[in-house]
Amino acid sequence: MIELNAQTIAFAILSALILGGGLGVVTTRNLVHGALWLILSLLGVAGYFVLLSAPFLAAVQVLVYIGAIAILIVFAVMLTRSMTSLGEVRNRQWWLSAITVVLLFLLLAVGIILPVWGRGAPGEVTSLSATVGGAAELGEALVAGDGFVLPFEVASILLTAAMIGAIVVARDEEDGQA
Amino acid sequence: METLNEWAFVGVFFAIAWVFPALPIIGAWLVRPKKPNALKKQTYESGVETVGDTWVQFRVQYYIYGLVFLIFDVEMIFLFPWAVAYERLDWFAYGAGFLFIFLLTDALIYAWRKRALEWV
Amino acid sequence: MGLTGSDVLTTCVDFINTLAPCLVRAGWHGDIANLLSLLLGVVIVATVPLLTVILLIWIERKFAARIQDRIGPNRVGPYGLLQSLADALKMLTKEDITPTGADRVLFNLAPIITFATVVLIWAIIPFTPLHIGADLSIGILYFVAVGSIGAVKVMIGGWSSNNKYALLGAFRTIALIVSYEVPMILALLVPVLMAGSMGMQDLTRAQGGMWFIVMSPLAAIIFFIANLAETGRSPFDLLEAESELIAGYNIEYSGFKFGMFMAGEFMHVFTVAVLTAVLFLGGWWGPFVDQVPALGFIWLGLKTAVVYLFMLLIRNTVPRFRIDQVMNINWKFMVPLSIVLILLQSFLLRLVDELGLRPAPELANDLLANVPQTLVLLAGNLVLGAIFMILLQRHGRTLREADEAVAAVRDPAPAGGMAEA
């Protein structure tokens, strides 16, 4: 059975956080509350990264998702004022979507996740490693000629495109500003 | 390489960090007078009655600042491993980093020229 | 007793370290014993900032008073030392008014988050060569990540107050915080470049030969200024200025919750001062620290005090900026400067390697061995700083001439009427 040690307990707490946060996001009426539940969920994911020996990614998760994206979500909510308080749910076919989602989940779990990472499968992880990976190897890999230097630069171009695109869209109302 | 135990410290710290400020607040709740009346609970608006709903003209400029910050945030995320591994790398790595930063500086200059960074 | 200061501190560490194995030998479960020793460490580390806050408030008031040519609190206790305690007691007994329509849970959560996020940073502060809460390999990134949660707490506080001014103040504060994180993080890259690691103990040890402030003064200055803005300190305190948006996002807070916000801000400033001392002023390095590690705590305290007092000095002497000036300074001056600084610094480090100016590993902590590479880096920094200062000066002159031209057109007679506002 599942061994009860500190890591399992941590995993359980984090899972509760993530799932609870997710539930909070979809059940709350208030969009700003939804964004805050999302933050809770994202914190749990950061904890997951730590358990998986990737603290760098955990910090990135907090820094980018919670520090920037969650703030932007709240800003976006504020931009559309009528959304801060929703009325009743107007979706009549929610039962259909519920069935579809459950089926999809079963398909993913039984068809893909369990055979690859489940018990006895080739990808099974029996215990979490006690040592933690560092960012130095990541850095070397990112700029090595035969490493990921091309995706590294492409990421930069992608970010540039994102910024230019966002500015073009957001400043749309200013006509004649060449 | 630190062990997971260091992170356990952070985890415990995280749990305790909420307790420390919560204690005085609970203490204050016990100690302070509680005499709410409608007048005291009114929202503050320079001493006059509030006008309209609580919603302010949300200017798009706030969003743009957040967005530019997000872009630079992701850029810096990429730069941290580069900086950590820097001393064992060669000039090629410097060139890669330079190009990366230069492309994003490009974007900053664009934003500057398009007056997206003004607090207008 | 015969116990010197260093003995006491190392015994404490040993107590913390041996608590877990002792308990295990006594039959306790290994993980639970570990948890207990972690708990002990956490409580010790968390109490340091909480205790210092009380002292800080007193220092702040006394310092500000002296600069303003008055005495400051001197009635409660000797030299007014118990003033903060009296204030805390007063706040505890003040009525706490939750405005109508405010979101109760969030309203109460905001001050708690404020405190918690600042205290969390103390987990990575290296007090001495042997004592650090958690020596994470991503040390400085942890600080950045936890600091970025600060924007969330402003949002929660502002939005849950159900007050237009609070919300407006919250948006402005978030825009400010978020903007100044860019140069702050970019400036942090420089010590990481020089030390080759993000861990706080590594960053401190790398300064054995030469403090990073000498090797890269621009990075220290940028970090310092960006943090002044982040913590909402003068000259960037426009958001809590009484004549502006009243108290910004914490208008509706009264009683102890308001006190928490204030205390949280003081603690944040102190934390930033400690970090500046660790990252740029050599942390716990100082004379005799090799023989008596506990002395590191004192050296760190002294350096922090210098930085903190410098912040207080700036606060009480410099006029505050307007919000558009604040944003312009950030995006048009500090961000380009820090970007160029990183490019330059990495180039110079590579150059130093090529020229073989790096000291040999065994001489890493020797001051003289580090001088050649320091000179190169310092020269680069000074040149860059000079260039930007000249650009700034010319920009200032352009603005000034434009203003004068406008004024001259509007108002041609020399000793004439008043210029329009």
The larger pLDDT score, comparing residue B11 to residue B4, is at B11
Q: Model confidence over B38-81: pLDDT tens digits? A: 666 665 555 554 555 555 567 788 888 989 999 999 999 989 98
Nearest Cβ partner for A142 among B64, B78, B111: B78
Backbone angles phi, psi at C132, to 5 degrees: -150, 145
Q: Does the pLDDT value for residue B2 go beyond 60?
A: no
- Any idea what DSSP says for residue A92? T
What's the confidence (pLDDT) of residue C26?
62
Q: Model confidence over C208-243: pLDDT tens digits? A: 878 889 889 999 999 999 999 888 776 667 666 655
Shortest CA gap B87–chain A (Å): 10
Q: By C-alpha distance, which of C324, C380, C325 is closest to C349?
A: C380
Q: Domain ranges in chain B?
A: 4-113
What percentage of chain A exceeds 90 in pLDDT? Answer: 29
Q: Does the pLDDT value for residue B93 go beyond 70?
A: yes
The larger pLDDT score, comparing residue B105 to residue C76, is at B105
- Please state at what angle helix B60-84 crosses helix A70-79, rounded to 10 degrees: 170
Using only C-alpha atoms, chain C has a radius of gyration, in whole angstroms, of: 24
Q: Subunits touching A (CB < 8 Å, at least 3 pairs)? A: B, C
State mean pLDDT over C13-41.
67
Is the ipTM, as predicted for this complex, more than 0.90?
A: no
The larger pLDDT score, comparing residue C10 to residue C156, is at C156
Measured between alpha carbons, how far apart are the two ends of chain A, in Å?
A: 67
Whether A46 contacts A62, CB under 8 Å: yes
What's the confidence (pLDDT) of residue B46?
55
Q: Do B81 and A69 touch (CB under 8 A)?
A: no
Q: Does the pLDDT value for residue A145 go beyond 70?
A: no
SS3 category, A19: helix
Q: Model confidence over C29-81: pLDDT tens digits? A: 666 777 777 888 888 888 888 888 888 888 888 888 888 888 777 777 777 77
Nearest Cβ partner for C38 among B9, B87, B117: B9
Q: Does the pLDDT value for residue C24 go beyond 80?
A: no
Shortest CA gap A5–chain C (Å): 7
Nearest Cβ partner for C327 among B24, B86, B119: B119
Total-model pTM: 0.87
Q: Does the pLDDT value for residue C339 go beyond 90?
A: yes
C109-118, C235-244, C268-277, C382-391: least confident range: C235-244
Q: Do A170 and B103 touch (CB under 8 A)?
A: no
Distance CA A59, CA A63 (A): 6
Q: How far is CA C138 from CA A3, A102, B8, C164, C196, in A?
A: 29, 39, 15, 39, 12
What's the confidence (pLDDT) of residue C6?
44
Structure-token pair, residue B112? 């500057």
**Which residues in A lie closer than 8 A to residue C197 (C-beta atoms)?**
136
Q: Does the pLDDT value for residue A162 go beyond 80?
A: yes
Per-chain mean pLDDT for chain C = 80
Q: Does the pLDDT value for residue A18 go beyond 90?
A: yes
Distance CA A148, CA A170 (A): 33
Q: Model confidence over C347-371: pLDDT tens digits? A: 998 888 888 777 777 666 777 777 8
State mean pLDDT over C307-313.
90
Q: What is the 3-state secondary structure (H, E, C) of chain C?
A: CCCCHHHHHHHHHHHHHHHHHHHHHCCCCHHHHHHHHHHHHHHHHHHHHHHHHHHHHHHHHHHHHHHCCCCCCCCCCHHHCCHHHHHHHHHHCCCCCCCCCCCHHHHHHHHHHHHHHHHHHHHHCECCCCCECCCCCCHHHHHHHHHHCHHHHHHHHHHHCCCHHHHHHHHHHHHHHHHHHHHHHHHHHHHHHHHCCCCHHHHHHCCCCCCHHHHCHHHHHHHHHHHHHHCCCCCCHHHCCCCCCCCHHHCCCCHHHHHHHHHHHHHHHHHHHHHHHHHHCCCCCCCCCCCCCCHHHHHHHHHHHHHHHHHHHHHHHCCCCCHHHHHHHHHHHHHHHHHHHHHHHHHHHHHHHHHCCCCCHHHCCCHHHHHHHHHHHHHHHHHHHHHHHHHHHHHHHHHHHHHHHHHHHHCCCCCCCCCCC
What's the confidence (pLDDT) of residue A148?
81
Q: Does the pLDDT value for residue B1 go beyond 50?
A: no
* Distant-in-sequence contacts of C64-67, Cβ < 8 A, 24+ apart: C64/C312, C64/C315, C64/C316, C67/C313, C67/C316, C67/C317
**Which residues in C lie closer than 8 A to residue B111 (C-beta atoms)?**
331
The larger pLDDT score, comparing residue A13 to residue C88, is at A13
Q: Does A11 touch chain C (CB under 8 A)?
A: no
**DSSP-derived secondary structure for A38-63:** HHHHHHHHHHHHHHTT-HHHHHHIII
Q: Does C167 touch chain B (CB under 8 A)?
A: yes
A9-18, A82-91, C43-52: least confident range: A82-91
Q: Does the pLDDT value for residue C3 go beyond 60?
A: no
Structure-token pair, residue C42? 């956490």
Per-chain mean pLDDT for chain B = 78
Q: Do A139 and B99 touch (CB under 8 A)?
A: no
Which C residues in the span 191-230 are in contact with A, Cβ-Cβ below 8 Å? 196-198
Residue C21, preceding peptide bond in cis (omega within 30° of 0)? no
Model confidence at C136, pLDDT cuts 50, 70, 90, reads confident
Fold classification of B4-113 (topology level): Methane Monooxygenase Hydroxylase; Chain G, domain 1 (1.20.58)
Whether C146 contacts C205, CB under 8 Å: no
Shortest CA gap C214–chain B (Å): 19
Backbone angles phi, psi at C256, to 5 degrees: -70, -25
Q: By C-alpha distance, which of A160, C357, C66, C393 is closest to B68?
A: A160
The larger pLDDT score, comparing residue A178 to residue A51, is at A51
Q: Do B97 and A131 touch (CB under 8 A)?
A: no
Q: Subunits touching C (CB < 8 Å, at least 3 pairs)? A: A, B
CA angle C201, C204, C206 (to 5 degrees): 110
What's the confidence (pLDDT) of residue C220?
94
Q: Does the pLDDT value for residue A146 go beyond 90?
A: no
The larger pLDDT score, comparing residue C155 to residue B58, is at C155
Which B residues in the span 10-39 are in contact with A, Cβ-Cβ below 8 Å? 10-11
Q: By C-alpha distance, which of C394, C407, C114 is closest to C261?
A: C114
Q: How far is CA C294 from CA B59, B77, C365, in A?
A: 52, 35, 19
Q: Model confidence over A98-128: pLDDT tens digits? A: 899 999 999 988 888 887 777 766 666 656 6
Measured between alpha carbons, how far apart are the two ends of chain C, in Å?
A: 72
What's the confidence (pLDDT) of residue A23?
92
Distance CA B8, CA A14 (A): 13
Q: Model confidence over C89-123: pLDDT tens digits? A: 777 777 666 776 667 778 888 888 888 888 889 98
**DSSP-derived secondary structure for A107-176:** HHIIIIIHHHHSTTSTT---S--SB---HHHHHHHHH-TTTTHHHHHHHHHHHHHHHHHHHHHHTTT-TT
The larger pLDDT score, comparing residue A55 to residue C255, is at A55
Distance CA C388, CA C402 (A): 21
Structure-token pair, residue A170? 């957001």
What percentage of chain C exceeds 90 in pLDDT? Answer: 20
Distance CA B92, CA B55 (A): 52
Q: By C-alpha distance, which of C223, C198, C194 is closest to C207?
A: C194
